[in-house]
């Protein structure tokens, strides 16, 4: 149990709605539900029940309210009393991320961190993932969230975050999308479009085809996964994209038996800085966000 869970409970009590309370606290309804469930697990009893669209308090929930309010009030007074001292600890952290993360996830992460830790201000810099080491070395960024890199150097610290499914796909106009099954050798005969050399997905494709002694015919290179997506709509090419990208577009899966692809995400920072307080706290916040974020959990592979 922590103060965030207690405050979440009180917000649900105030709004009598999980979704409205979640909106008020800048989290997803699923994350709000999990907070309430952790409280219920702590006390080993139900605190709320759902009656249609309304939330009803159990007797235990009613009993908890004055205690939760007292603890919340004491906590707020403590923060207010200590605020003059805590000003000196306010800091800005520069996070480097890919175009994919910038488009889909970063603002959910920023809102989460701001809702639980006012001391940290996040500045975001969108970078080419091939340049992350140079950006860290030169101090342009403090922390990177990006795909797992194979060329990691000894002066970097890193940690696993989450992984997502990748899909072989094309537009509905492509001849392979209407087939029930497509073998890799058949796919190899068609032209593909991928991000430029050095990217995670391009490397995945190259390793896959090399393993089966097949050529990978890359007809076009695109700067970002979104450029890839747009080029696929012509119906002339296939590619590999994130399941999240596939779901929001008009692209169709090409069903290749026994081929399962994923993409892994890590955090990276310089070894010399990994124990800095702000970086440690931010990494901890990121890990908690992953657990609580519907945007992550919907596409995360276990």
Q: Could you give the CA distance from residue 284 to residue 264 in angstroms, rounded to a whole number? A: 18
Domains and CATH numbers, the chain: 3-86 (1.10.10.10), 88-162+264-297 (3.40.190.10), 165-263 (3.40.190.290)
Residue pLDDT, tens place only, 106-161: 989 998 998 888 889 999 999 887 788 888 988 899 999 999 877 667 788 999 99
Interval 16-21 mean pLDDT = 86
The answer to whether residue 270 scores a pLDDT higher than 80 is yes
Q: Could you give the CA distance from residue 8 to residue 18 in angstroms, rounded to a whole number? A: 9
- Tell if the pTM clears 0.75, that is, is over it: no
Tokens of 37: 């469930």
Q: What are phi and psi of 258, to 5 degrees?
A: 65, 10
Q: Could you give the CA distance from residue 39 to residue 151 in angstroms, rounded to a whole number? A: 43
The answer to whether residue 170 scores a pLDDT higher than 90 is yes
For CA atoms 94, 95, 96, 98, give the dihedral sign: negative
The answer to whether residue 84 scores a pLDDT higher than 80 is no
């Amino acid at each position: 149990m922590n103060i965030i869970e207690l405050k979440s409970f009180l917000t649900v009590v105030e709004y009598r709605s999980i979704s409205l309370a979640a909106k008020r606290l800048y989290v997803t309804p699923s994350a709000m539900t999990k907070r309430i469930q952790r409280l219920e697990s702590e006390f080993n009893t139900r605190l709320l029940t759902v009656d249609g669209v309304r939330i009803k308090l159990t007797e235990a929930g009613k009993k908890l309210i004055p205690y939760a309010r007292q603890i919340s009030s004491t906590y707020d007074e403590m923060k207010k009393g200590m605020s003059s001292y805590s000003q000196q600890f306010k800091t800005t952290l520069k996070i480097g991320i890919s175009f994919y993360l910038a488009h889909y996830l970063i603002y959910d992460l920023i809102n989460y961190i701001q809702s639980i830790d006012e001391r940290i201000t996040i500045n975001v810099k969108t970078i080419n993932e091939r340049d992350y080491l140079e950006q860290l070395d030169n101090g342009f960024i403090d922390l990177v969230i990006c795909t797992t890199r194979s060329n990691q150097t000894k002066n970097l610290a890193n940690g696993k975050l989450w992984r997502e499914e990748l899909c072989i796909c094309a537009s509905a106009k492509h001849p392979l999308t209407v087939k029930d099954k497509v073998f890799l050798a058949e796919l190899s005969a068609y032209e593909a479009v991928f991000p430029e050399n050095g990217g995670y997905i391009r490397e995945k494709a190259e390793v896959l085809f090399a393993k089966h002694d097949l050529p990978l015919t890359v007809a076009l290179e695109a700067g970002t996964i979104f450029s890839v997506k747009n080029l696929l709509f012509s119906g002339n090419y296939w590619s590999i994209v994130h399941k999240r990208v596939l779901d929001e577009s008009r692209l169709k899966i090409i069903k290749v038996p026994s081929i399962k692809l994923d993409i892994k995400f890590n955090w990276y920072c310089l070894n010399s800085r990994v124990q800095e307080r702000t970086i440690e706290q931010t990494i901890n916040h990121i890990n908690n966000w992953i657990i609580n974020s519907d945007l992550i959990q919907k596409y995360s592979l276990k």
